[in-house]
Amino acid sequence: MTSDYPLFEHWYQTLNWILSTIENYPKKVRFSVASKISDEALKTIEMIIEAIYTRNRVSLLNAINLSLEKQRIFFRLSKDRQYISIKQYEFISKALNEAGQMVGGWKKSCETHYKTI
């Protein structure tokens, strides 16, 4: 059923990229920055799954947006500290923005649906 949701598919692929990328972070930041990024990214996929199987999705979608924003900051820091390249930063920025747009569209759809009921 999760394959019926474009956000799930997009985030699954993004999560796979994130986990592969943070494996290459320097050892000294694996338990700080890399750990925070992986925790947030995994939490995001969990919340997406919960949103798929929940009727009242708006609060979960807001939480997903917050998680995406945290990841934006962590990846910006990663770029500034040169844990990732500019090209990797551009890729993840685009992926995070696309996910945010999907969440926003889903949230708007939910809000419209509840107004018509």
Assess contact for 19 and 38: CB atoms under 8 A: yes
What is the topology classification, in CATH, of domain 2-116? de novo design (two linked rop proteins) (1.20.1440)
pTM here?
0.90
Does the pLDDT value for residue 9 go beyond 90? yes
The pLDDT score that the predictor gives to residue 98 is 98
Express as a percent the part of the chain with pLDDT over 70: 93
Assess contact for 91 and 17: CB atoms under 8 A: yes
Distance in angstroms (rounded) separating the CA atoms of residues 106 and 88: 27
**Region 55-84 average pLDDT:** 97
The pLDDT score that the predictor gives to residue 2 is 67
pLDDT, tens digit (0-9, with 9 covering 90-100), for 11-62 = 999 999 999 999 999 999 999 999 999 999 999 999 999 999 998 899 999 9
Assess contact for 96 and 75: CB atoms under 8 A: yes
Domain boundaries, the chain: 2-116
